[in-house]
Amino acid sequence: MKSYSESYKEAGVDITAGYKAVNLMKEHVARTMTQGVLSGIGGFGGLFQLDLGEIRHPVLVSGTDGVGTKLKLAFLLDKHDTVGIDCVAMCVNDVICCGAKPLFFLDYVAVGKNVPERVAAIVSGVAEGCVQSGSALIGGETAEMPGFYPPDEYDLAGFSVGVVDKEKIIDHSAVRPGDAILALPSSGVHSNGFSLVRKVFDVEHSDLTLYSDELGATLGETLLTPTRIYVKPMLALMEQVEVKSISHITGGGFYENIPRSLPEGCTAHIDRTTLKTPPIFDLIRRKGNIPERDMFNTFNMGVGMSVVVAPDKADEAVRILRAQGVDAYIMGQIVPGEGGVEV
């Protein structure tokens, strides 16, 4: 008997819309399939067979996050096929900081009203993020929650699981004064600080489609640019150079994130003149009259990830990353200190 409930539909939950959404997203999910996937979409659990290869002491590493209030931009612009990349990026970029290779991803989409085409667009972005990070999208959940979310709004979250050999976990213990700090450029604001961004630009009452010469795009396009995923370039780097620590620059900016990748007795000294900061950050600073320290304590300021390597390996590391399409550069060094960041 075909599943259908008129009573549930009258309460605001359309089961058949859920089935349609699943069918529409199948082609996107198929793009992410990797060798370890054992299950197809629609089961009660996602199955993944772990191929340990040469890993002697496997350690699973997990990361979870959402997209945050950046979703408000997607609602306003009615563009839903990129925020899924943000969701994946926020998780896999954390996992790679431990030296782990992401294996699979699961998403959670909570909607006020299940519009199958919109849900499929969201999942298409998740699938793209999975492809960029080499992860398999092995499952997820779409929850229709009328009365909890407005009909045109939703929330999006997910989690990633990766694996690393215990002997190769990156834990910052090898960091020493004199080590070089590399910057991996961001694609823009990424997915943090959007409560402040929305306030500065009053996005609900602004025309986000107006072209800006300063930005080289519309404000909406610039702000909705998805978070860059660093997994594949970092995996390539770790195969050739000893990486001592990695920091994913997210909410809290430089001052909160970089210290998490440093041991006691070490401070990160950043040469501000080297930073390649996109115009959107200066526009935010001017428009919102925001102190420079607050900018560095809220946004990535053009650096999506920082990497610490030995000074004699810095140039080689930069070459490897640039060969992977990441325009990395040296932005500072580790100095003796009581922790923290000097910018």
Both tokens assigned to 50:
């772990």
Domain with CATH 3.90.650.10 in the chain: 180-342
Q: Rounded distance, CA 164 to CA 98, Å?
A: 8
Q: Rounded distance, CA 289 to CA 299, Å?
A: 15
Both tokens assigned to 238:
């770790």
In this prediction, residues 72-86 reach a mean pLDDT of: 97
pLDDT at 310: 98
Local confidence band at 83 (pLDDT 50, 70, 90 cut-offs): very high
Local confidence band at 125 (pLDDT 50, 70, 90 cut-offs): very high
CB 315, CB 323: distance < 8 Å: no
Q: Which helix (H) or strand (E) is 222 found in, with range?
A: helix 219-224
Share of the chain above pLDDT 90, in %: 83
- pLDDT single digits (tens) 213-263: 999 999 999 999 999 999 999 999 999 999 999 999 999 999 999 999 999
The architecture CATH gives domain 6-168: 2-Layer Sandwich (3.30)
Local confidence band at 52 (pLDDT 50, 70, 90 cut-offs): confident
What is residue 138's three-state secondary structure?
Answer: strand
Burial of 121 per CB tally in 10 Å (0-12, 13-18, 19+):
buried
CB 170, CB 239: distance < 8 Å: no
CA proximity to 301, closest of 244, 233, 255, 236: 255
Q: Rounded to two decimals, what is the model's pTM?
A: 0.94
Q: Rounded distance, CA 227 to CA 211, Å?
A: 21
CB 100, CB 131: distance < 8 Å: no
pLDDT at 33: 86
pLDDT at 238: 97
Domain with CATH 3.30.1330.10 in the chain: 6-168
Query: What backbone torsions phi and psi does residue 44 show, to the nearest 5 degrees?
Result: -85, -15
As beta bridge partners, residue 309 has 180
Local confidence band at 45 (pLDDT 50, 70, 90 cut-offs): confident
- pLDDT single digits (tens) 203-212: 999 999 999 9
Both tokens assigned to 82:
């990129």
Which residue has better confidence, 101 or 43? 101
Instruction: Please determine, for residue 148, whether its predicted confidence score (pLDDT) is greater than 70.
Output: yes
Residue type, 240: Q
Q: What is the DSSP letter of 220?
A: H
CB 154, CB 61: distance < 8 Å: no
pLDDT at 2: 64
Q: Rounded distance, CA 18 to CA 235, Å?
A: 37
CATH superfamily, region 180-342:
PurM-like C-terminal domain (3.90.650.10)
pLDDT at 301: 98
Range ranked top by mean pLDDT from 4-18, 25-39, 102-116: 102-116
